[in-house]
Structure 1
Amino acid sequence: MGDQVLRTDGLTKHFGGITAVDGVSFALDSEECCALIGPNGAGKTTFFNLLTGELEPSEGSVEFHDDDGWHDLTGLAPHETASAGLHRSYQITNLFPTTTVRENVRVAAQAHGNATSRFWRNVDAFPEYVDEAESILERVGLSAKADDVARNLSHGEKRQLELGVALAGDPDVLLLDEPAAGVSSESVDEVVDLIRNVARDHAVLLVEHNMDVVMDLADRIAVLHQGELIADGPPTEVRDDDAVQEAYLGGYDPDAPTASDDGGDGSGTTGEDGGGVA
């Protein structure tokens, strides 16, 4: 593994009398793909929102490391954490639906380059961002769809485009919130291969309920339960942890048939009915 690039110390978030994230101390290395798992209501999305500045922590800190050393990101706004190098995707696709695939990525690249003047719609004024968009679309497998309107893409292709938009900001850390959610069983492998490719040169922290995807992708798994970090380590070690089995996995058996083996959707998602703060 590489050096640490992101860390939290005692990160906590209260919503009235509810503690959604409870004193979480966590670190992400620069050369790893880490999966953050836990039942619904465990605090996963709240934790993401604290990292990216969409929520301000009640206690604790968030720090990010770059070539200039460690920087305190605690309480910064989302555009400030993005400028620092943290980019994220969302459970619900977040694109410009009536704009072409190429333009979605081009605008993201242009925004990152601070070329956001009144000329932002003038493609000829910033040809370098068009070139960057083309390169990114090739990487995420959407070159053939470059001129398609984003809303006409399949759900899996929209996930690919979201990742392309995130890459256009040249991030050091990618936070992926359920990247396989809603993706057809036929497209899950493509999403997994794409994330694996991206993880070669980016630190990746992903929230994912699909345990087949988690076990296939993650170098490391961290487990939240009722806002607390109850396990953090190699996938097989975490999978076999008694506390994790009880809290989340429900006796997950890597040798058991998956849904795809018996005609299901292949999601490998454990049954969950928990509510509360996600």
Structure 2
Amino acid sequence: MLRTSGLTKEFGGLTAVSDVDFALDDGELCSLIGPNGAGKTTFFNLLTGVLTPTRGTIEVRDGGDWRDVTDATPYETASLGLHRSYQITNVFPTSTVLENVRVAAQAASDDSFKLWRNAGAFEEHIEEAYAILDRVGLADEAETPAESLSHGAKRQLEVAVALAGDPDVLLLDEPNAGVSSESVGEIIDLIEDVATDHAVLLVEHNMDIVMNVSDRVVVLNQGAVIAEGDPAEVRNDPTVQEAYLGGYEAGSLDRDRETPTEETGADPEEGAA
């Protein structure tokens, strides 16, 4: 569904992403982990057209063919079925929950530039928005202003917006960041649910979540891939232990009451890297 070859991004003398070969398969949930500044968010920004690579290529599957999107804009990548959520909540705060998703659904359709029509005329997008809100557990909040939601519900709304337009690939940038312990289970369930019919690339610092939900884990350090494999392989890799996991031991993942008992202690990654 998505692949890169030799993907590199340099900012002056700093190489934020270095010669990354990566592939995400249909139906796969792959987690991208690494220490702060490893290049995870920069990698997301390259994939979605926010940044232009210094060199290398990015391709997405378009039907039965691969299409080069190395120099594509965010709108172009989204139109090809590559959608993302953001590390920092990024919704229209004064619009209702329904309107946030409805606008995203319209933007992903042929009606994206029909701005002179009354929003109520776009019944198909309203129906799609209600269906998505039901899926992410926000149907009862449809008429609530987004700014009034709890932080955890705002993260759910971010995923709902990313689902609008039925993308093939979802890039989820720390969907659990800042979520209260009471809401962690809902976010995990949501990640697993969307992975049943989408390819998902997940950035997440909570290693118990990563180890429990991932089909595959890719580890970045100083912009380069240092390991990849199934969760058990990555967890036991000495290079990964030294670069990131340290003394990590698996904790118990109680989805109903609290966060995992053991975490890496890493802070959320800074925006540019």
Q: Deviations over 1:91-146 (max 9, x none)?
A: 111101000001111111111113131335x1331111111111111001001100
Q: 1:51 to 1:16 in 2, by over 3 A?
A: same
Secondary structure class of the residue paired with 1:206: strand
Distance 1:58 1:140, change over 3 A: same
CA gap 1:267/1:188 in 2 versus in 1, 3 angstroms:
farther
Pick aligned residue for 2:154 from 158, 163, 166? 158
Instruction: Report the 3-state secondary structure (helix = DSSP H, G, I; strand = E; otherwise coil) of the residue aligned with 1:35.
Output: strand
CA-to-aligned-CA distance 1:20-66 (integer Å, 9 cap, x gap): 10100010001110000000010000111110111100110000112
TM-score by length of 1: 0.92
Rounded to whole Å, the distance in 2 between the matches of 1:268 and 1:210 is 9
**SS of match in other structure, 2:147:** helix
Mapped to 2, the partners of 1:93 and 1:105 lie a distance apart of 14
Aligned residue number for residue 252 of structure 1: 248
Q: How many residues align?
A: 269
Unaligned runs of 5+ in 1: none
Are 1:176 and 2:172 an aligned pair? yes
The one-letter amino acid of 1:271's match is G
Deviation at 1:186, TM superposition (A): 1.0
The residue aligned with 1:102 is 98
- Deviation for aligned residue 1:270: 1.4
Supply the AA of the counterpart residue of 1:49: N
| CA offsets 1:149-194 (integer angstroms, 9 cap, x no match) | 0000001100111111111121100000001000011111100001
Asked if 1:271 is matched to 2:265, the reply is yes
- Match for residue 7 of structure 1? 3
Moved more, 12-21 or 265-274: 265-274
Letter in 1 for 2:86: Y
Distance 2:90 2:61 in 1: 27
Task: Say which SS state the counterpart of residue 182 (structure 1) adopts.
Answer: coil
**TM-aligned CA deviation for residue 268 of structure 1:** 4.3
CA distance in 2, matches of 1:88, 1:268: 28
Q: Which residue of 2 aligns with 1:230?
A: 226
Contact 1:210 1:267 in 2 (8 A): no
Aligned CA distance change for structure 1 residues 25 and 157 (closer, same or farther; 3 Å): same
1:195 aligned residue (188, 191, 195): 191
Residues 201 and 59 of structure 1, relative CA distance in 2, 3 Å threshold: same
SS of alignment partner, residue 225 of structure 2: strand
Amino acid at match of 2:39: G
Pick closer, same or farther for the CA change 1:72–1:225 going to 2, 3 Å.
same
2:125 aligns with one of 123, 129, 146: 129
Partner of 1:117: 114
**Cα distance in 1, alignment partners of residues 171 and 162 from structure 2:** 9
Separation of aligned partners in 2, 1:267 and 1:28 = 30
Q: Give the whole-Å Cα distance in 2 for the aligned partners of 1:173 and 1:257.
A: 29
**2:59 paired with 1:63:** yes
SS of the aligned residue for 2:92 comes to coil
Query: Normalization by structure 2: what TM-score?
Result: 0.93
SS in 1 for 2:143: coil
Superposed, which structure 2 residues align to 1:13-32 within 5 Å?
13-32=9-28
**RMSD between aligned residues:** 1.9
Task: State, as a whole percentage, how many aligned pairs show the same letter.
Answer: 63
Report the alpha carbon displacement of residue 75 of structure 1 after superposing the two structures with TM.
1.5
Unaligned segments of structure 2, at least 5 residues: none
Residues in 2 aligned to 1:264 and 1:123: alpha-carbon distance in whole angstroms: 40
C-alpha distance in 1 between matches for 2:261 and 2:153: 17
Once the two structures are TM-superposed, the CA of residue 265 in structure 1 deviates from its matched residue by 5.7
